[in-house]
Amino acid sequence: MQLIETLPDSAMPTTRRILDLLRHGQPNETVTVKGWVRTKREQKEFSFVEVNDGSSLAGLQVVIPRDVAGYADTIKRISTGASIEVNGTLVESPAKGQRIELKAEAFQVFGEADPETYPLQKKRHSFEFLRDIAHLRARTNTLGAVFRVRNAASAAIHQFFQERGFLWVHTPIISASDCEGAGEMFTVTGFDLNQPALTEDKKRVDFSQDFFGKQAFLSVSGQLEAEIMAMAFSNVYTFGPTFRAENSNTSRHLAEFWMVEPEMAFCDLLGDMELAEAFLKHIFRSVLETCPEDMEFFNQRIEPSVLATASNIIDNEFARVTYTEAIALLEKADKTFEFPVKWGVDLQSEHERYLAEDLFKKPTIVTDYPAQIKAFYMRLNDDEKTVAAMDVLAPKIGEIIGGSQREERLDVLENRIQQVGLDPAPYWWYLDLRRYGTVPHAGFGLGFERLVQFMTGMSNIRDVIPFPRAPQEIEF
């Protein structure tokens, strides 16, 4: 590796991120930038190189005069994908659409990229193709913008809860309980799968001899553990990976995804709804402030209603309707649904989107669902037919948040566990929370990737997580 025109340490300019330079850089500042080459154009007196360091959608144009030391040998090593460092001075740019550019005084190549084999040349690539090269796709405009928005949304989530005094708790990834009662879980084992320990009748795996002494799974939710912590700290939240072994090869499902799950002691369903609404408004507002260029890019290139959708979330009070009222509205709708509507059935995506998009035309919270279609831990209402549950429905995507007031009464919770056919023994500690200082409490869950997909307008959920896990997909 050869540095062209080494500067003394005292004269070395500070490395600046390109986003900072594009927003705040001023002519005559001496700076260093480091990044990857997007394009190169050689002309008679200069070469023009666009450099991007991942901090922004736009790159910085670098003008390299031919009289820079070592120009002839180094410029031919630069091509799309190569990594370089440039020292120089910012100047006003005569080119349309850019305020400043960098006039190089010294530059070096860290790593070359063979233009014959580098797969990300200056052209459009399908998202399906980019999934096959997930180790490189973050360098593209679209995926780079996605992951900056994902980062900004993550920061906004922590900010929202931390400013309200919530404690961030790290719930286990390996668990012995199925929070949802769905059964679609990945088993975790220490057995040699070619020779697992079997029961005496040789018909089943004997998990009592396994690492944990019982069958263990990758967690589908941190909610139950969050309830434990809420009984000591009042307000807590989780933000971490969860897993579902659904063999669903669709644009809406992942086997590994991130969940946000707040849990609040001394809180009822109304407080749960109010927090969920404030939560979504805060995230959208923060992302628009942090990543305006990226959000404008999505609005222009991916989905032309991205900014309008964000405004709809931020500027409107969410509509609120009970499940029973929603069913009546759907039955009266001048629309034919693929899935029939009647009281007692779960709402499908088409029903949810009709309510939020066509009927209320804004985010809508549906409450008080039939007990038989909701989880055992949701609080039974006085009618003994419905539970204090709520789903937040958003235009274009349907359900984005699901939550409830939790059942705090020991006898009612024990009955619910038995009614849904679960063995109460593994939930002994969960029942203990109702024996020792029980309080009304509530919480909700949000699938983070679905939120990012909704914010950006991306059509496939596998394109809003860096390394998607799905059926037959675990390459990276």
Across the range 261-283, mean pLDDT stands at 98
Residue 189 in contact with residue 211, Cβ under 8 Å? yes
Tens-digit pLDDT profile for residues 224-270: 999 999 999 999 999 999 999 988 888 888 999 999 999 999 999 99
**203: number of Cβ within 10 Å:** 7
Per-residue pLDDT, 247: 87
| Residues 429-436: contacts with CB under 8 Å, at least 24 apart | 429/228, 430/177, 430/224, 430/227, 430/377, 433/227, 433/228, 433/231, 434/408, 434/409, 434/410, 435/410
Cα torsion 446, 447, 448, 451: sign:
negative
Cα–Cα dist 194/90, whole Å: 64
Across the range 401-422, mean pLDDT stands at 96
Pairing of strands 30-42, 83-92: antiparallel
Per-residue pLDDT, 184: 87
Fold annotation for 137-185+220-463: BirA Bifunctional Protein; domain 2 (3.30.930)
Q: Is the pLDDT of residue 455 over 90?
A: yes
Q: Is the pLDDT of residue 1 over 70?
A: no
Instruction: Identify the DSSP state of 198.
Output: B
Cα–Cα dist 106/87, whole Å: 5
**Given pLDDT bands bounded at 50, 70 and 90, which one contains residue 223?**
very high
Listed by start position, the domains of the chain span 9-111, 137-185+220-463
Within 76-219, residue ranges assigned H as helices are 127-131, 141-163
Tens-digit pLDDT profile for residues 62-91: 999 999 999 999 999 999 999 999 999 999
Q: Is the pLDDT of residue 12 over 80?
A: no
Tens-digit pLDDT profile for residues 132-190: 999 999 999 999 999 999 999 999 999 999 999 999 999 999 998 766 555 589 999 99
* Token duo for residue 252: 């809406």
Q: pLDDT exceeding 70 applies to what percent of the chain?
A: 96
Q: How wide is the angle at C-alpha 3 spanned by C-alphas 86 and 28, nearest 5°? A: 30
Residue 462 in contact with residue 251, Cβ under 8 Å? yes
Cα–Cα dist 148/280, whole Å: 18
Residue 126 in contact with residue 463, Cβ under 8 Å? no
Mean pLDDT of the residues in the chain: 94
Q: Is the pLDDT of residue 109 over 60?
A: yes
Q: Which CATH number fits domain 9-111: 3.40.50.80, 3.40.640.10, 3.40.50.720, 2.40.50.140?
A: 2.40.50.140
Across the range 338-358, mean pLDDT stands at 95
Cα–Cα dist 385/33, whole Å: 64
Residue tagged 């038989």 (tokens): 372
Secondary structure (3-state) at 262: strand
